[in-house]
A and B are shown apart, each in its own frame.
Chain A
Amino acid sequence: MARAAARSPTSEDIRRLLWQRRLRLWWLLLRRVLRRFAILSGAVLCAVLLVAAKLDIALVRFVQARAGDAAALVLDAVRLPLAAVGRLGETVGEIVAVWRENRRLEAENRRLLEWRREAIRLSVENQALRRMLAMPTVPMPMRRTAARVVADPGSAFAHTRLVDAGSERGIRVGMPVMDDHGLVGRVVAVGRWSARILLLLDSASRIPVVVEPSGDHAILEGNNGPHPGLRFLPLEPRVEVGDRVLTSGAGGLFPPGLPVGEVVAVGERGVEVRPYADWSRLDHVVVLDWRPLPPPPADAQPAPPVAVPAPAAAPEAGT
């Protein structure tokens, strides 16, 4: 009775069954090929991802920004025990170094007191001169956002830091980043809760600077080492060891006058600068709310010459 009730398969059922079998066979074949050539398949996928990233596809950027957000959350939790261990070692080291440091500071303090007197005198003179010239003071006041460093790629390839402030706190690409001592770098990528900072030591970093007191303009170029170099100096530069390096504000990338570092070597290998930023204690940074000037439109043309009316002939003296 039951056998009679069983429906005999229709041609549609058989076709569906055949398709299912075929799909299963293809899937098994694909799995076998992927397993056998797993490394090659992975390498091809990586190459595709690299090309997509190079083409700056929005999806890749989105994934990287979200990954940065996730890493910031996780590393924030991991950071505390690591920092505690580090502080312990730091304390031991500090006790050893404190006596030597104290003597050095005493000597430095004496020198600084002399400099302070000189600085006050120059400041008073400067203000008086500015009043006479009616010049605005630089740098301009800017909104500052404090952020904590939560990740470090830890490789010889990329000198970047991940901080726990993102677009939700008003961080945007291009903003300069400083610590207590000087310029650290600039924001190169922003997620919702995190941002990536390109340190000025990275070989991809280029910062327009000016050397004081000579006033020579140059580009501070990172070299992945501790002392970035100055490039594109004037033909006869007047740079000496100990000169201060500040942002020049050229190109509108950075505000002018941010302290960058000090010249530590001038020689055959070029001019080397030691940044003021304290890399060993880069726990917190300040992001300055500076909007880099937008680049000019690609089709921008120089303004056509304006016809200037010839000046009226000056009346002859005595006429």
Chain B
Amino acid sequence: MDLLSNLIILLAGGALALPGIDFAFKRRVPGGRLPGYVAVAVLVASSLLVGFSATRTLEPAFASNLFRVDLLGVLFSLAVLLVSVFVAIASLDYVERDPNIGVYYSLLIFTALGMVILAFAVDLLVIFVAWELMSLPTYVLAGFSKRDPSSNEASIKYFLVGALGSGLILYAISLTYGLVGSTGLAETFSALTRIISEKELAPLAVLSLALFIGGFGFKMAIVPFHMWIPDAYQGAPTTVSTLLAAGTKKAGFVAAIRVLVIAMTALRADWTITLALLAVLTMTLGNIAALTQRSITRLLAYSSIAQAGFIVIGLAVAPTSSLGLVGALFHVLNHAIMKSAAFIAAAIVIFKTGREDLANFNGLGRRMPFTAFALTISMLALAGVPPLNGFWSKFVLFTAAIQGGLPWLAVAGILNSILSLGYYGWLIKRMYLDDFEGAVRIREPANLSAALGIGLVLIIVIGVYPTPVIELARNAVLST
């Protein structure tokens, strides 16, 4: 059996079994935590499966014209499965008393399954199906706090924008199919190159690529398509925001890399400047908007938009620099870890105090020392302070920008990193220097802290010793 079939059986089996398990054991297991433990076990098993396969030679998948098991897919699915594990562990505390807990974990695993299939798909049909499998459960998860008006609002806004994104992708695929007569990525782009040079049908090919950028852009949170992000992240349960920011957004990038970058290489450098401008716009707008936020989840949402800009740098210079995609991949992996850690730290604070405004973070260093420390480290990593993991991936990205002949892009990136220290530093100052009236030590919930601890260890370990991960990313790019 190849890796992908095993993953599909494991994840789909787990997701389908969970509501049943929940129903059968609801009254017998105290606290109703059983579905959570099953979900964590399934997700950990899948990540181990993927993790071990990275060191061995990969068997081809069962339908090799639809799926391609390569290192790029392995790396991405490892990243998204890690995020799902974090989210599942954090949810053990966060959604403990919800009556629909079995469904919650089931939807979480379905999302993970969609992201894993997306990471390996090389046919537009499978990409679209996986895209929907990943998106539909997250619409429901965003509105999971049924009686909470903010959760409702987040859910409906996210749904409308997400469905529009899927619609655009579907129309783009239909145009591509009409031009090429096939949906396999490999044939598609060799044919597209021919069509672009023919001039007569070129506008249609360009239109379909623009629709692809739009459709994927909604998930990736690139700037003209970003307006739903802060609302969705703020209103959704914070563990679900973690999944959206660190998981499905990354899946948007893997689809974009599979579809756009290969296509762009075929279309040569025409799109480099467009994407470079999008990158600068995304970074700058995200960072400036983050400076004025008063809610931690909104701040992290805007910082997440800014980080998407950094990843787009890598996509923009991919045709001219071999390091571009390596940097993008590396930053995707790092950002998944850093952002999960930051969101989980925010989840701990919201869970324990019920407040998400930044004033609530005053004196957090004394009230919740571990959470405050972990949040500080993850924010420093997000800002790109050495020797944490965010520094190395930004370093690779900026080197790629200079190598690719766009030094101004590197300069914009460095300036933006400094700008982002503005709001991260402000929050760190609040946690350690400001006082909170009537501050008492608050006990930090065990499972949430465990998830945060794993994230923290990964941030520091990859920061101190990044070589194996960079090598893995380099091999992944070579394997496409």
Is the pairing of A and B real?
no
* B interface residues (Cβ-Cβ under 8 A, vs A): none
